Amino acid sequence: MNCISGALELFKTNSCAAWTIAIAAFVLGVIVMCAICRMFRPCGKNGGSCGYGKKQGQRRQDRGEPKFEKTHPAPADGSIEIYVGNLSYDLTEEQLRKEFEAFGKVTYARIITNRYNGRSKGFGFVHMPNRAEVDAAVKALSDKEILGRKLKCNEAKNVG
């Protein structure tokens, strides 16, 4: 309490000196905070993962890193995988399978779901073993309306 009353007395008697001390303390605090931030986020980006050691502002391709592609491994059984997008959230895997079985044999159909609440993400994959059947199904079901939504179908992009 003695320190606080002494500071108050300093403001009352010599306000210029008190303001100088206050500003110096503020600036020192800012410098210390900047040093701490630099220690934990060297490049100055928010979020913690800053890519330390990379040139700031460069895109992945410009740094010589491979371009990220949304792909996944090809089916091991040799079947052809079809991406089906813009699915109704109420559509079931069984209904999706039946839509494609009208064009040939379906190895399996799967709708991608949110892992936390189990709801559909609005897209899925269908595996069919025959190329001619796949082409016919994709051609017929692209832009077909099912449960109020037009399907988007194409062959899934697989990693070699």
Query: pLDDT tens digit string along 33-46?
Result: 877 777 766 555 55
Domain boundary among 68, 96, 119: 68
Of 150, 119, 134, give the one whose Cα is nearest residue 82: 134
Question: Domain of 48?
Answer: 1-68
- 84 and 108 in a single domain? The answer is yes
Least confident of 77-81, 99-103, 110-114: 77-81
The whole-angstrom separation of Cα 99 and Cα 28 is: 69
The structural domain count of the chain equals 2
12 and 35 part of one domain: yes
Domain boundary residue, one of 17, 51, 68: 68
Q: Which of 25, 51, 68 is the last residue of a domain?
A: 68
- 57 and 106 inside one domain: no
CA-to-CA distance for 68 and 15, rounded, in angstroms? Answer: 61
What would the pLDDT profile of 53-71 be if each residue is shown by its tens digit? 545 555 555 655 555 555 5
Same domain? For 77 and 153 the reply is yes
Q: Please tell me whether residues 51 and 100 are part of one structural domain.
A: no
Residue 1 has pLDDT above 70, yes or no: no
